[in-house]
């Protein structure tokens, strides 16, 4: 019987457009020439047959709630009803043949001793349904798997190496997210990414301190699934109990959600350290606890070694980039 888990520096923006299959978009000019290394650029694509993506409503400056040490972006449980989303597609579940268990996501992850992860008993409930498996088509012809989590109606946070890595030929060519996926069941369909975002610290230097990114979607599935809030603070998180949840590729059946609770054991400037078990495929999942009006992500799970698993910490700079990508 399965146990339920209600799982509870200076950076420069880098943006790349993702290919949406069967899109027949007119050519779009970039938003402007690169004038400084810090100038963001983007090239949007149009997804044929789907509702146009909307910019998240609200004022970006009003999106963050400040108080004491840090700030947070509010989460939402969503409606749970697909009728409340636009642009969601159905009928094409992830292909277990093209993404077999063990397909690398370019990052080491560690199981420490006996595996403490448990399978989500209800991936269609909140907050689990705001977490999805990412299917990534790479320039080298391979298909990769990662995890991502919604933090707005049409925006997903993930690890930078899920979107860009020299070993797969550079930037991802296309990305799909299946929120709440459970084996062959796709309770909330899937959406295509239209733009991928990361920062120079990852893209130029592959510095694990900056291993984070985001994906703008061609749908508003977050109105249905809900989304995670985000929080940053400068003080230590040591001892804070969190959940780390995602889609590991060492578990069967494929495309099932697993997670584990545990304490933060180290608080670095740009990383949080823990011995919560993870494996390849869980990169990009949220490190979170209750808060932000729902659930708060405080890091993006990214990597591991023999000593620790690591989440890229949501610092003030990371938080501001995520706000820009959501509201931009």
Q: Which of 161, 165, 231, 301 is catalytic?
A: 161
CA dist 115 and 2 (Å) reads 15
Q: Which of 76, 267, 283, 303 is catalytic?
A: 283
Which residues are 193's β-sheet partners?
217
CA angle, corner 142, sides to 88 and 210, nearest 5?
A: 75
DSSP string, 148-190: EEEEETTEEEE-GGGTEEGGGTEE-SEEEEEET-BTTB-TT-B
161 given a catalytic annotation: yes
236 given a catalytic annotation: no
DSSP one-letter code for 227? B
CA dist 304 and 316 (Å) reads 23
CA dist 159 and 9 (Å) reads 18
Q: How many residues does the chain have?
A: 328
**Terminal Cα-to-Cα distance of the chain (whole angstroms):** 45
CA dist 69 and 84 (Å) reads 35
CA neighbor of 147 nearest in space, from 178, 111, 120, 170:
178
Whole-number Cα distances in Å, 188 to 9, 104, 328: 38, 25, 25
Asked if 316 and 283 touch (Cβ cutoff 8 Å), the reply is no
> CA 95 from chain center: how many Å?
20
DSSP string, 46-105: --TTSPPPPPPSS-GGGSEEE-SSSEEE--B---S-GGG-SS-B-S----TTTS-TT---
Q: Which residues are catalytically annotated?
A: 161, 283
């Amino acid at each position: 019987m399965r146990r339920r888990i209600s799982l509870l520096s200076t950076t420069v923006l880098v943006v790349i457009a993702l290919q949406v299959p069967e899109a027949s978009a007119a050519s779009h000019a970039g938003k402007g020439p690169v004038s400084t290394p810090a100038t963001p650029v983007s090239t949007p694509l149009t997804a044929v047959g789907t509702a146009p993506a909307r910019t998240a409503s609200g004022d970006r400056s009003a999106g963050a709630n400040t108080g004491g040490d840090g700030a947070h972006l509010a989460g939402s449980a969503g409606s749970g009803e697909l009728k409340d989303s636009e642009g969601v597609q159905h009928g094409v579940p992830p292909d277990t043949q093209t993404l077999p268990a063990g397909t690398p996501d370019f990052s080491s992850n560690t199981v420490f001793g006996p595996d403490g992860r448990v399978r989500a008993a209800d991936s269609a409930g909140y907050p689990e349904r705001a977490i999805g498996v990412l299917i990534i088509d790479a320039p080298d012809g391979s298909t990769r798997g990662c995890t991502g989590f919604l933090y707005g109606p049409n925006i997903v946070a993930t690890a930078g190496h899920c979107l860009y890595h020299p070993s797969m030929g550079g930037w991802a060519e296309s990305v799909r997210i299946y929120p709440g996926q459970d084996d062959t069941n796709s309770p909330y369909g899937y959406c295509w990414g239209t733009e991928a975002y990361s920062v120079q610290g990852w893209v130029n230097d592959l510095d694990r301190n900056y291993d984070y990114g985001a994906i703008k979607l061609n749908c508003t599935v977050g109105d249905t699934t809900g989304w995670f809030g985000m929080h940053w603070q400068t003080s230590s998180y040591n001892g804070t109990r969190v959940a780390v949840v995602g889609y590991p590729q060492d578990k069967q059946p494929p495309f099932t959600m697993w997670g584990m609770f545990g304490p933060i054991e180290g608080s670095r400037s740009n990383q949080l350290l823990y011995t919560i078990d993870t494996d390849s495929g869980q990169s990009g999942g949220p490190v979170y606890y209750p808060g932000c009006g729902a659930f708060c992500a405080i890091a993006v799970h990214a990597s591991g070694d023999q000593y620790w698993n690591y989440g890229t910490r949501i610092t003030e700079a990371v938080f501001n980039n995520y706000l820009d990508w959501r509201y931009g």
